[in-house]
Chain A
Amino acid sequence: EVQLVESGGGLVQPGRSLRLSCAASGFIFDDYPIHWVRQAPGKGLEWVSGIRWNGGIIGYADSVRGRFTISRDNAKNSLYLQMSSLRVEDTAFYYCTKAISSSAPYYMDVWGKGTTVTVSS
């Protein structure tokens, strides 16, 4: 079964850091681009960042550029999101998502269940 499992979310104070992880299974991890997408409480979806199979960065949303860093470890079938200088507006459910293919890296066909990040003093 193709699966993505996020972890690392929690309650953090503004200005602090947090690292999210995503463990993949059931597919050849290093064949696919992987993304982070977030959803604030009661709101819509926002793409956060994506990374290609070889670690090439697809990009960051303007709202997180310079504060968040995406990375992956293909040997561990894992994706990471290092979040620094967190703001209240970063409060959201964070999903790890897999692209359909390396040739269609922007359509996301498998999603994890997500992890909650709450930024509050």
Chain B
Amino acid sequence: DIVLTQSPATLSLSPGERATLSCRASQSVSSYLAWYQQKPGQAPRLLVYDASSRAADTPARFSGSGSGTDFTLTISSLEPEDFAVYYCHQRRNWPPGTFGQGTKVEIK
């Protein structure tokens, strides 16, 4: 199975700052990677798919990039509602379509 490793585990930032989240795959997943956001007590929400395509209703401050094994989710200027856990997810090798372990973006 393809393993996705996210870093850092926790990112402590202030509102208005730029957040850069990394996801590294153990082998190439081409561009078949998505990012999800999950807030406490809520279901995940799809933000980005195919590495860089924003899902419907995803604000423009979220952008995804990368291909192959290295991917980045960037939040250009953190809003209060962006503090959450973010998961990357590959569908190159399906099943099982593995998820990363998550990066928590917390308020500094």
Chain A, 49-82, contact with B by CB distance < 8 Å: what is the 0/1 string? 0100000001111100000000000000000000
Q: Of B14-22, B66-74, B75-83, B90-98, which binds chain A?
A: B90-98
A104 touches B49 (CB 8 A): yes
B46 touches A108 (CB 8 A): yes
CA distance A109 to B34 in the complex (A): 11
Give the chain A neighbours of B101 by CB distance below 8 A.
44
Which chain A residues in 1-50 approach chain B with CB under 8 Å? 37, 44-47, 50
Give the chain B neighbours of A61 by CB distance below 8 A.
95-96
Tally of A-B Cβ pairs under 8 angstroms: 58
Give the chain A neighbours of B13 by CB distance below 8 A.
none
Give the chain A neighbours of B32 by CB distance below 8 A.
106
Whether A59 contacts B102 in the complex (CB less than 8 A), given A104-B49, A108-B46, A111-B43, comes out as: no
CA distance A59 to B50 in the complex (A): 21
Min CB distance B33 to A, Å, is 10
Residues of A within 8 A of B (CB-CB), count: 22
Interface residues on B, range: 20 to 34
B102 touches A44 (CB 8 A): yes
Give the chain B neighbours of A106 by CB distance below 8 A.
32, 91, 94, 97
A95 touches B43 (CB 8 A): yes
Give the chain B neighbours of A60 by CB distance below 8 A.
95
CA distance A61 to B91 in the complex (A): 13
Which chain A residues in 88-121 approach chain B with CB under 8 Å? 95, 100, 104, 106-109, 111-114
B43 touches A113 (CB 8 A): yes
A45 touches B45 (CB 8 A): no
Q: Provide 10 A-B residue pairs closer than 8 Å at the C-beta atoms, listed in order of the A residue.
A: A45-B36, A47-B98, A60-B95, A95-B44, A104-B49, A107-B46, A107-B91, A108-B36, A108-B46, A109-B46
Identify the A interface with B (CB < 8 A): 37, 44-47, 50, 58-62, 95, 100, 104, 106-109, 111-114
